[in-house]
Amino acid sequence: MDRILVLVRHGQSEWNLKNLFTGWKDVDLTEKGIAEAKSAGGRLKKKGLKFDVAYTSVLKRAQRTLDLMLDELGQKGLETHRDQALNERDYGDLTGLNKDDARKKWGEEQVHIWRRSYDVQPPGGESLRDTLARALPYYMKHIQPDVLSGRSVLVSAHGNSLRALIMAIEGLTPEQILKRELDTGVPVFYRLKADSRPETIEILKD
Active site residues: 10, 88
Task: Please compute Rg for the chain using Cα positions.
Answer: 16
* Closest to 9 in 3D by CA, of 159, 179, 205, 202: 159
Exposure of 89 in the CB half-sphere (CA atoms within 13 A): 31
Q: φ, ψ for residue 196 (rounded to 5)?
A: 80, 0
DSSP type of residue 139: I
* Closest to 26 in 3D by CA, of 69, 56, 3, 59: 59
Q: How many residues does the chain have?
A: 206
- C-alpha distances in angstroms, 205 versus 30, 42, 58, 193? 20, 11, 26, 23
Beta strands 4-9; 80-82: pairing state: unpaired
- Residue 201's DSSP bridge partners are 190
> SS3 for 48?
coil
d(CA 106, CA 65): 33
